[in-house]
Every structure is written in structure tokens, then in C-alpha cells.
């Protein structure tokens, strides 16, 4: 529970993900993930070697008030966008397209053929 009804901020989410993730899972910074999945480009990770990881987990803040998650399997070359309120195909497809644009500029990911993988998960009932 957050003190004084505070918001769940990126540093808390990222710290938690680092705490529970396996060492071979890359936890992407939420600011970097927002840039990649909304623009498809970022120079920061252009030369980063993702080949030593089995997966990438990226928290994603939408409209500064809603957290989603992107899970990318390096092993199966699949992209999953998870929204607690339920995924909209158009948004998931746009994010996949932006991921592909980013991956094509990264030496360790450029030759991969990416596909969308819909993960089942519970849906948040409140607004």
C-alpha cells in the first residue's frame, strides 16, 4: 500500500520488477519503453546486446495515469502487450510495429521476425 494515497511511480514499479525478475530477464526503464513503443526509435539502446537475455519486461505508463506491461520473448520472438483494462488490437499492433522499427536498428535484434502473442490475464474491474 502506498503512503497517503500516493500514486504508483515508475521507480517503485521498476524496483519491484528488478526484485522479482530472473537474472536473464532485461527490465527496461519505463521512460525508454514509452519512447520505443510510442515512437519506435531511441538511440540509448541502439547498440545494447539483448542476446544475453531470454526476455524483456517493460513497464509502460499510458497518459501519465495508467500502467501497462510489455513482455518480449527473445527465445520465441514474440511481443505481448498487457493492459489491465484489456488490450485494444489497434494499440497492440501499433506498439508491435514500433518495437519492430526499434529492433531493426539494434544489432542483436535486427534479423528477428517478430509476431504478436496475446497473453491471457485477469481484467481489472474498477476504473
CATH of residue 90's domain is 3.30.310.130
Does residue 72 form part of some domain? yes
Does residue 125 form part of some domain? no
The residues that bridge with 71 in the sheet, in sequence order, are 57, 80
Pair 70, 62: CB distance under 8 Å: no
Q: What is the pLDDT of residues 80-107, one digit of tens each?
A: 999 998 888 899 999 999 999 999 989 8
Domain of residue 69 covers 10-116
Angle at 11 between CA 3 and CA 114, to 5 degrees: 135
Most confident of 3-7, 14-18, 55-59: 55-59
- Rounded Cα distance, 69 and 88, in Å: 13
Does residue 93 form part of some domain? yes
Phi, psi at 94, each rounded to 5°:
-65, -45
| Distant-in-sequence, close-in-space partners of 117: CB < 8 Å, separation ≥ 6 | 73, 76, 78, 79, 80
Does residue 86 form part of some domain? yes
Does residue 3 form part of some domain? no
Cell output for 110: 535486427
- Domain count of the chain? 1
- pTM for this entry: 0.88
Does residue 55 form part of some domain? yes
Higher model confidence: residue 103 or residue 127? 103
Does residue 109 form part of some domain? yes
Cell output for 7: 500514486
Q: What is the pLDDT of residues 57-82, one digit of tens each?
A: 999 998 877 899 999 999 999 999 99
The residues that bridge with 62 in the sheet, in sequence order, are 66
Amino acid at each position: 500500500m502506498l503512503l497517503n494515497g500516493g500514486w504508483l511511480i515508475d521507480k517503485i514499479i521498476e524496483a519491484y520488477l528488478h526484485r522479482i525478475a530472473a537474472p536473464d530477464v532485461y527490465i527496461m526503464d519505463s521512460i525508454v519503453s514509452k519512447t520505443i513503443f510510442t515512437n519506435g526509435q531511441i538511440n540509448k539502446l541502439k547498440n545494447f546486446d539483448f542476446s544475453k537475455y531470454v526476455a524483456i519486461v517493460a513497464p509502460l505508463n499510458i497518459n501519465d495515469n495508467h500502467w501497462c506491461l510489455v513482455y518480449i520473448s527473445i527465445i520465441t520472438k514474440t511481443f505481448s502487450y498487457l493492459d489491465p483494462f484489456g488490450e485494444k488490437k489497434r494499440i497492440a499492433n501499433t506498439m508491435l510495429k514500433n518495437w519492430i522499427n526499434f529492433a531493426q536498428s539494434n544489432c542483436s535484434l535486427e534479423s528477428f521476425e517478430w509476431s504478436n502473442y496475446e497473453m491471457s490475464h485477469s481484467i481489472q474491474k474498477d476504473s
